[in-house]
Amino acid sequence: MREIVFDTETTGLNSGGDDRLVEIGCIELVGRVETGRTFHAYINPQRSMPAEAQAVHGLSDAFLADKPLFADIAEDLLAFLSDDAVLIAHNAMFDFGFLNAELKRCSLPPIDLARMVDTVAMARKLHPGAKHSLDALCTRYGIDRSHRVKHGALLDAELLAQLYIEMTGGRQIGLGLSGAQTQERGAAKADLVTAVPAQRTFRAPRPHAASREELARHAAFVAGIKDALWLAD
């Protein structure tokens, strides 16, 4: 199964107002294993960057000034997302809201929300009452985020991909019963094992019924037990 883990950075929180998408990062998974294929783009929002948003992701007006408009990257983005891949995001309605708002501005159809998987909702079911931020969940699952100084769409998507794999069974999901196989994940490998030996040596069944002599010796032994509990009144 093909899945896309993605994250966005924006100028603010209001996808239905004046705020715009400024970065999107996507990671491809096939069978819960990262394939190495990614999609990443910075986007010129055609508006100024609020100071509070820049403090979160570090993207300034000057940096974004020569970046493409969303309309310029929409076709490539939709091709990467395809029509059937599951789309995974942290607090997914936020990311879907901005993505679909940008598609609407380009007169393109929205992404179907039926494709959405929200890892915040997953975390709430797995760890009720705990903190569900990306940072808190990375700490819980032992995922290194020391290189995350500021938010970044591709970096956060990479962390979220690792987190999603752990929350859905970790590397144990690679265990199968059909034979020994290997799936590459970068330089690392997840080995699939088999429960059926490649060759089996036939052995005749060993005798297990007691012989007459063994039964006689057992009866004599039992008869010699003094004050047996099963003979008490």
Asked if pLDDT for residue 197 goes beyond 50, the answer is no
Q: Could you state, in order of their start, the residue ranges of all structural domains in the chain?
A: 2-167, 174-198
Calpha distance 71→42 (Å, rounded): 12
Calpha distance 134→189 (Å, rounded): 25
Token pair 């939709």 in the structure block, residue: 78
Short-list 55, 64, 78, CA closest to 23: 64
Q: Tell me: the pLDDT tens digits for 146-191?
A: 877 678 899 999 999 999 999 998 865 444 433 333 333 333 333 3
The mean per-residue pLDDT over the stretch 8-28 comes to 97
Q: State the chain's mean pLDDT as an integer.
A: 85
The pLDDT score that the predictor gives to residue 182 is: 33
Q: Tell me: the pLDDT tens digits for 30-79?
A: 999 999 999 999 999 999 999 999 999 999 999 999 999 999 999 999 99
What positions carry a catalytic annotation?
Answer: 151
Domain 2-167 classification at class level: alpha beta
| pLDDT class of 218 with cuts at 50, 70, 90 | confident
The mean per-residue pLDDT over the stretch 10-30 comes to 96
Burial of residue 131 (number of CB atoms within 10 Å: 0-12, 13-18, 19+): exposed
Q: What percent of the chain shows pLDDT beyond 70? A: 82
Report the relative pairing of strands 2-10 and 21-30 from DSSP bridges: antiparallel
Q: Tell me: the pLDDT tens digits for 97-115?
A: 999 999 999 999 999 999 9
The two structure tokens encoding residue 136: 């808190």
The pLDDT score that the predictor gives to residue 195 is: 36
The pLDDT score that the predictor gives to residue 179 is: 35
3-class secondary-structure state, position 28: strand
Calpha distance 40→27 (Å, rounded): 9
The pLDDT score that the predictor gives to residue 192 is: 27
| Whole-angstrom Cα Rg for the chain | 30
The pLDDT score that the predictor gives to residue 202 is: 65
Calpha distance 4→172 (Å, rounded): 20
The pLDDT score that the predictor gives to residue 211 is: 79
2-27: burial string, b at 16+ Cβ within 10 Å, e else:
ebbbbbbbbbbeebeeebbbbbbbbb
The mean per-residue pLDDT over the stretch 74-98 comes to 96
Query: What is the DSSP code (8-state) at residue 174?
Result: G
| pLDDT class of 215 with cuts at 50, 70, 90 | confident
